[in-house]
């Protein structure tokens, strides 16, 4: 028996493996099984070039659990090792510079495994002792056993072993006994090893018999050695892609499309990506792409490795050019990874354009599911926007689809305002904004449907891209002013009537949570709606964006909603309210207004006399008189408003018109809605 010291110049290596890799310690099984697969494939390669002339025979990798002894054995029939190779590959781990390795990687938990031959040493994360029993494939080779208890000391001795290959036996320590269970090993093998290119066997298959699960004689092969992405598209059918998707995501809906990636220059990349049905929810859908290196699972957390919008895709990417065991920060800065990321973006855009051109009808049918994905890409990736603008669709309220260029051509004549800007009208809720959509259509306008999760951001983005264009929500103003033209109608109301109506209507608006109403007047046709509610485009859009994105715009989200209560001053019902007001309180209001006008005239004279004078130059009598006038004006205006409010509260028509406007905006609820229903019955 030979005893020795592992070839590192410090005794810190095992504590570092234990401590710094703790968060990642489950990958020990991936590392050891992957090494066994490599050893098997090396022997196949040697056989193909004539360096190994023996029989390959069955050469699966076996994972064997002894739950009583708490041992896990990873066994292969690959190339095996001689005593000299054990010394070189196991003992002299850091012969190229252990101290440099320790200094470089001890702060980065994910970067250690895979460097300087440390894949094997991941076994010490979970083991109190590790043994290697190995026999080289070379003729006349002597089998040897290597043993180490997690210190730099090891033993190496000759043993008997009937067949070539390597058995690695892990004696699981007390802190990690959860790994010495059938369920946990099955989970880890399924997670990390389900697509390895050599059969991996764990126990026997089971079946239900007489109400209980019993083992059969058939080996339980846990992996698919030739997964879909390693095969050529010409040998695959649509059903093959669907079946593979179901295997990856058993609970998911059927995917929309797929892209089969097969690149060998300027880097190697294979994979299959699927467009899932996103159900209008970005966050829930991420981390569905599985990243592999030579069929060995690396991660499903690919943000920063691929462009953010591609994290919405599902599927598999496999590339030997992606380092297997490095930190996320390393992956994000790796040149090959960036090239791969850029290439996938191009492939996705090309595939979508191909589907659009070949079968536009099918593309349109799936647009509502594709839309959030494409918009996300256009918002976050400039290169994707440049490609996607050819096939991105706009849908109108009639359910028709248009490309950007097609739609601009259709609305150009009728929806260009007096300043030469093309106005895109849109709705976010076809049912809730129905009356506004109808009013716009009655003027010959077309209205888009932009009701997606990202559309408030997307509208801003398109405005920055389209020349001389703007987007206006259909309920942001009256139909006559959505697209300002040169012509304008004359308002029939006097200033005094506008003032009175402002008080009458504002006094009867019910309390709506976090909402302010500003009364305004428009000169509309007599057949138009008498009262309507609109919301200013800019503020509403800022609030919507703040709800989705937060950040600098978050303060908009805290502000109350501001609405315009637009009164059609030319409508007969508004004229009727003025007539009833004049009949019931006209004299009182006129008398108060006359006094107000007199006082305002006197105040104007006093204010004019103050101009150009310092405070001490103004007579105290003038100051006192001005103060007295202001107090009287406040009092008189209060009396006038009280008279008008009393009139308004007893006038069912005022409340009815306000409530009809609120109702058309889905803003009439609770007690206010009940009162509206009762009042409607009374009026009928």
Looking at residue 90, the DSSP 8-state letter turns out to be I
**C-alpha 578 chain-centroid distance:** 53
Question: Considering only 278-287, 409-418, 458-467, which range has the smallest mean pLDDT?
Answer: 278-287
- Alpha-carbon distances, residue 212 vs 205, 215, 219, 222, 485 (angstroms): 14, 10, 19, 22, 80
Whether the model clears a pTM of 0.85, i.e. scores above it, the answer is no
Q: What is the dihedral of CA 567, 568, 574, 578, to 10 degrees?
A: 70
**546 near 553, Cβ under 8 Å?**
yes
Q: List all residues 6 or more positions away from 664 whose beta carbon is below 8 Å from its beta carbon.
A: 434, 435, 532, 533
Q: What's the mean pLDDT when you consider all of the chain?
A: 85
Mean of the pLDDT values across residues 215-222? 92
- Which of the pair, 247 or 300, is modelled with greater confidence? 247
Number of neighbours of residue 478 by Cβ within 10 angstroms: 20
What per-residue confidence (pLDDT) applies to 14?
63
What per-residue confidence (pLDDT) applies to 577?
94
First to last CA, the chain: 108
Share of the chain above pLDDT 70, in %: 86
Distance of alpha carbon 33 from alpha carbon 13, whole angstroms: 22
Distance of alpha carbon 371 from alpha carbon 54, whole angstroms: 58
Q: List all residues 6 or more positions away from 561 whose beta carbon is below 8 Å from its beta carbon.
A: 514, 515, 516, 535, 540, 543
Burial degree of 473 (CB within 10 A; 0-12, 13-18, 19+):
buried
The string of DSSP codes covering 240-289 is HHHHHHHHH-TTSPPPSEEEEEEE-SSS-EEEEEEE---TT-SGGG-S-E
Mean of the pLDDT values across residues 648-659? 92
Q: What's the chain's length in residues?
A: 684
Q: Residue 324 above 70 pLDDT?
A: no
Question: Considering only 17-21, 196-200, 412-416, 608-612, which range has the smallest mean pLDDT?
Answer: 17-21
Q: Residue 486 above 80 pLDDT?
A: no
- pLDDT bucket at 554, cuts 50 / 70 / 90: low
Phi, psi of 11 (to 5 degrees): -95, 15
Distance of alpha carbon 557 from alpha carbon 396, whole angstroms: 28
What per-residue confidence (pLDDT) applies to 114?
44
- Which of the pair, 71 or 113, is modelled with greater confidence? 71
- Which of the pair, 494 or 327, is modelled with greater confidence? 494
CA atoms within 13 A on the CB side of 530: 17
- Which of the pair, 331 or 144, is modelled with greater confidence? 144
What per-residue confidence (pLDDT) applies to 98?
41
- Which of the pair, 573 or 98, is modelled with greater confidence? 573
**645 near 507, Cβ under 8 Å?**
yes
Highest mean pLDDT among 141-145, 457-461, 478-482: 141-145
Distance of alpha carbon 233 from alpha carbon 226, whole angstroms: 13
* Sheet with 561-568, side-by-side order of all strands: 515-522, 561-568, 531-535
- pLDDT bucket at 334, cuts 50 / 70 / 90: low
What per-residue confidence (pLDDT) applies to 262?
85
The string of DSSP codes covering 431-482 is TTTHHHHHHHHHTT--EEE--STTHHHHHHHHHHHSTTEEEEETTSS-HHHH
Mean of the pLDDT values across residues 16-40? 76
Q: Residue 227 above 50 pLDDT?
A: yes
Distance of alpha carbon 188 from alpha carbon 511, whole angstroms: 59
Question: Considering only 141-155, 177-191, 323-337, which range has the smallest mean pLDDT?
Answer: 323-337
- Which of the pair, 126 or 548, is modelled with greater confidence? 126
Q: At CA 226, angle to CA 221 and CA 227, rounded to 5?
A: 95
* Sheet with 61-66, side-by-side order of all strands: 2-5, 153-158, 144-148, 127-135, 165-172, 71-76, 61-66, 200-209, 212-221
Report pLDDT digits (tens) over 290-300: 888 888 888 88
Distance of alpha carbon 507 from alpha carbon 509, whole angstroms: 6
- Which of the pair, 323 or 442, is modelled with greater confidence? 442
Helices and strands per DSSP (H, E), number in the chain:
22, 22
Q: Residue 466 above 70 pLDDT?
A: yes
Report pLDDT digits (tens) over 514-547: 778 889 998 888 888 899 888 877 777 777 666 6
Distance of alpha carbon 39 from alpha carbon 185, whole angstroms: 21
Highest mean pLDDT among 81-85, 103-107, 562-566: 81-85
What per-residue confidence (pLDDT) applies to 103?
57
């Amino acid at each position: 028996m030979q005893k020795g010291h592992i070839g590192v110049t410090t005794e810190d290596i095992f504590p570092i493996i234990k401590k710094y890799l703790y968060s990642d310690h489950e990958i020990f099984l991936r590392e050891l099984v992957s090494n066994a697969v490599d050893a098997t494939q090396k022997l196949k390669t040697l056989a193909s070039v004539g360096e190994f002339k023996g029989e390959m025979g069955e050469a699966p990798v076996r994972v064997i659990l002894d739950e009583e002894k708490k041992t896990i054995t990873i066994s292969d029939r690959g190339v095996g090792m001689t005593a000299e190779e054990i010394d070189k590959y196991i003992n002299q781990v850091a012969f190229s510079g252990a101290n440099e390795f320790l200094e470089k990687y001890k702060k980065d938990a994910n970067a250690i495994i895979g460097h300087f031959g440390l894949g094997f040493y991941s076994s010490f994360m979970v083991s109190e002792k590790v043994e290697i029993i190995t026999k080289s494939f070379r003729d006349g080779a002597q089998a040897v056993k290597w043993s180490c208890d997690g210190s730099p000391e090891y033993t190496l001795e000759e043993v008997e072993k009937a067949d070539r290959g390597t058995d690695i036996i892990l004696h699981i320590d007390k802190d990690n006994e959860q790994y010495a269970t059938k369920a946990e090993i099955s989970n880890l093998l399924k997670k990390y090893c389900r697509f390895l290119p050599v059969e991996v066997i764990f126990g026997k298959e089971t079946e239900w018999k007489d109400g209980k699960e019993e083992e059969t004689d058939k080996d339980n092969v846990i992996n698919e050695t030739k997964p879909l992405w390693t095969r050529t598209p010409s040998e695959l059918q649509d059903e093959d892609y669907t079946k593979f998707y179901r295997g990856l995501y058993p609970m998911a809906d059927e995917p929309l499309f797929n892209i089969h990636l097969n690149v060998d220059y300027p880097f190697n990349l294979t994979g299959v990506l699927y467009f899932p049905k996103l159900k209008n929810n970005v966050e829930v859908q991420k981390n569905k792409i599985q990243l592999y290196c030579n069929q060995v699972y690396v991660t499903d957390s690919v943000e920063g490795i691929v462009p953010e919008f591609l994290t919405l895709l599902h599927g598999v990417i496999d590339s030997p050019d992606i380092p297997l065991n490095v930190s996320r920060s390393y992956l994000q800065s790796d040149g090959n990874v960036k090239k791969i990321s850029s290439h996938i973006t191009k492939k996705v855009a090309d595939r979508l354009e191909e589907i659009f051109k070949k079968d536009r009808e099918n593309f349109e049918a799936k647009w509502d599911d594709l839309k959030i994905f494409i918009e996300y890409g256009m918002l976050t990736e400039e290169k994707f926007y440049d490609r996607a603008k050819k096939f991105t669709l706009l849908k109108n309220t009639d359910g028709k689809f248009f490309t950007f260029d097609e739609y601009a051509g259709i609305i150009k004549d009728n929806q260009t305002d007096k300043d030469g800007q093309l106005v895109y009208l849109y709705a976010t809720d076809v049912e809730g904004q129905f009356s506004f959509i109808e009013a716009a259509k009655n003027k010959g306008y077309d209205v888009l449907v932009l009701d997606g999760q990202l559309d408030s951001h997307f509208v801003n983005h398109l405005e920055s891209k389209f020349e001389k264009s703007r987007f206006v929500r259909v309920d942001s103003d009256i139909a006559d002013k959505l697209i300002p033209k040169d012509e304008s109608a004359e308002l029939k109301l006097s200033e005094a009537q506008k003032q009175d109506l402002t008080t009458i209507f504002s006094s009867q608006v019910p309390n709506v949570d976090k909402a302010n109403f500003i009364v305004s007047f428009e000169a509309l046709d007599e057949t138009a709606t008498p009262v309507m509610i609109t919301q200013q485009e800019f503020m509403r859009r800022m609030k919507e964006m703040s709800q989705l994105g937060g950040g600098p715009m978050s303060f908009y989200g805290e502000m109350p909603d501001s609405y315009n209560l637009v009164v059609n001053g030319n409508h007969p019902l508004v004229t009727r309210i003025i007539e009833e007001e004049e009949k019931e309180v006209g004299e009182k209001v006129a008398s108060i207004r006359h006094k107000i006008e007199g006082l305002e005239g006197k105040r104007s004279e006093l204010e004019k006399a103050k101009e150009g004078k310092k405070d001490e130059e103004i007579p105290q009598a003038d100051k006192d008189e001005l103060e007295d006038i202001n107090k009287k004006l406040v009092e008189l205006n209060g009396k006038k408003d009280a008279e008008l409010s009393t009139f308004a509260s007893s006038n069912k028509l005022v409340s009815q018109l306000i409530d009809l406007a609120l109702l058309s905006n889905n803003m009439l609820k609770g007690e206010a809605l009940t009162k509206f229903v009762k009042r409607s019955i009374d009026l009928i």
